Amino acid sequence: MSAENGVSRRAMLVKLGLLLNGIVGTFLAVPIVRYLMSPVIREKKFGYESWLSLGALEQFPAGQTRLATYKNPVVNAWDGETADIACWVRNVDDQTFQVFAINCAHLGCPVRWFPQSSLFMCPCHGGAYYQDGSRASGPPERGLFQYHYKIEGGKLLIKAGEMPTPGRAANLKRGGTTCA
């Protein structure tokens, strides 16, 4: 066997070794990527939202807007108080409700309700919304995010489980319109 042949044989073995590592690497990459993407995969497969109760209807008197809290349906044991989410419930006329996300439609800060002036105001960049959630002024491009709701057995249920953000707006109801 000539020296040249020897070199090329070893070079081929190096290539073979690299190829083997490449194949194993690809096999490893798939589960790693799937592991990293698990929050997205889970959302695609099962969704994060489910119907949950905000409590008895009596807590929400007609014509008023009250703060309600719920435990997020998807939680880990170590979430602590971050699993508790707040929202604003507006009882329009005992038949019709509006449930607004606490997050400003601009950048997600918690909006506060001022019953005296019937406005929601955001402490971050000064967004303001009317009582029906429609945009009144400031940087938000749209009204407050609204949860779907239904009434069952004297309780107010909303479909929730995911932080509302402007990019997800298509999945949520538009602020400013009331529908049963």
Partner 1 sequence: MRLIQKLGDWFDLRLQLGAPIRETAEHPVPRETASWFYVFGSAALTCFMLQVVTGILLALIYVPSAGEAWSSLQTLNHGITLGWFIRALHGWGSNFMVAIVLIHMVQVFLFGAYKFPRELTWIVGVLLLLVTLGMAFTGQVLRFDQDAYWGLGIGASIASRVPVIGPWAVNLMLGGPIIAGATLSRFFALHVFVVPGLLIAFVGVHLLMVLKLGINEWPMPGRIVRRSTYLQEYHELTHRQGVPFVPNAVWKDILFSGFVLLSIAVCAVYFGPFGPGGQPDPTIIQTAPRPDFFFLWLYALLSFLPPSAETPILLIGPAIGIIVLLALPLVAGEGEKSWKRRPIAVLTILLVAVALGTLTHLAEHTPWSPVMDAWSSQPIPSEYLRGRTALERRGALVFQAKQCHNCHSLDDKGGQRGPALDTVALRLTEDQFIRQVIQGGGNMPAYGKNLSPAETTALVAFLTTLRPAGQPPARNASQAVALGASEVSPRH
Binding positions for partner 1, rule: CB under 8 A? 36-37, 39-40, 42-43, 48-49, 67, 69, 72, 74-86, 102-103, 106-112, 114, 116-119, 121-126, 128, 130, 136-141, 161-163, 165-168, 171
For helices 38-45 and 3-36, the axis angle rounded to 10 degrees is 50
Q: At 8, which helix (H) or strand (E)? A: helix 3-36
Residues 6 or more apart from 135 whose CB is under 8 A from it?
105, 127, 128, 129, 141, 142, 143, 175, 176
Question: By C-beta, is 28 or 36 nearer to partner 1?
Answer: 36
Alpha helices (H) along 37-143: 38-45
User: What token pair was written down for 163?
Assistant: 């932080």
How near is the Cβ of 96 to partner 1 at its closest, in Å?
Answer: 17
How near is the Cβ of 100 to partner 1 at its closest, in Å?
Answer: 12
Q: Which phi and psi angles does 50 have, rounded to 5°? A: -155, 165
Question: By C-beta, is 56 or 75 nearer to partner 1?
Answer: 75
Question: By C-beta, is 14 or 170 nearer to partner 1?
Answer: 170
Question: By C-beta, is 23 or 40 nearer to partner 1?
Answer: 40
How near is the Cβ of 14 to partner 1 at its closest, in Å?
Answer: 26
How near is the Cβ of 15 to partner 1 at its closest, in Å?
Answer: 28
Question: By C-beta, is 47 or 61 nearer to partner 1?
Answer: 47
How near is the Cβ of 119 to partner 1 at its closest, in Å?
Answer: 6
Give the SS3 label for residue 121: strand
User: What token pair was written down for 21?
Assistant: 């590592």
User: What token pair was written down for 173?
Assistant: 């109801």
